[in-house]
Amino acid sequence: MIQGQCQPPGKRDLRSMQRFQRGQIRHRHPVLFPVALLLGALGLLFASSFANTLFPLLVLLGVPSTQLCLAIALVLGIAGSLTGIIGIIERLDHRSTHTGLAMPKEHGHADRN
């Protein structure tokens, strides 16, 4: 049996509502998450110049706080850039699928005759 058939209808409705609510913010504001990641990267890049005074506990533990801030800023920047690029590609793909502009599938050698 399929797992979704075993559950009462109330649970299935609740799951679909949760998925809809999570995706709703992403669909209404598709730029929000990549911009937040890039702003976090810029913030940490700026904070790395003052890392020794901002994070004195890391200095006491012997952790190079400037390098740690720069590494996290680099990861956030790359993640924000990739998230933005993927969002643009998904939006273009979604538009071409709904408007019927999708590329036709190529046929094999046997179907060309």
pLDDT digits (tens, 9 = 90+) for 35-88: 999 999 999 999 999 988 888 888 888 889 999 999 999 999 999 999 999 988
The fraction of the chain above a pLDDT of 90, given in percent, is 33
pLDDT at 78: 97
Residues 6+ apart with CB under 8 A from 37: 76, 77, 79, 80, 83
Enter the pTM of the model. 0.63
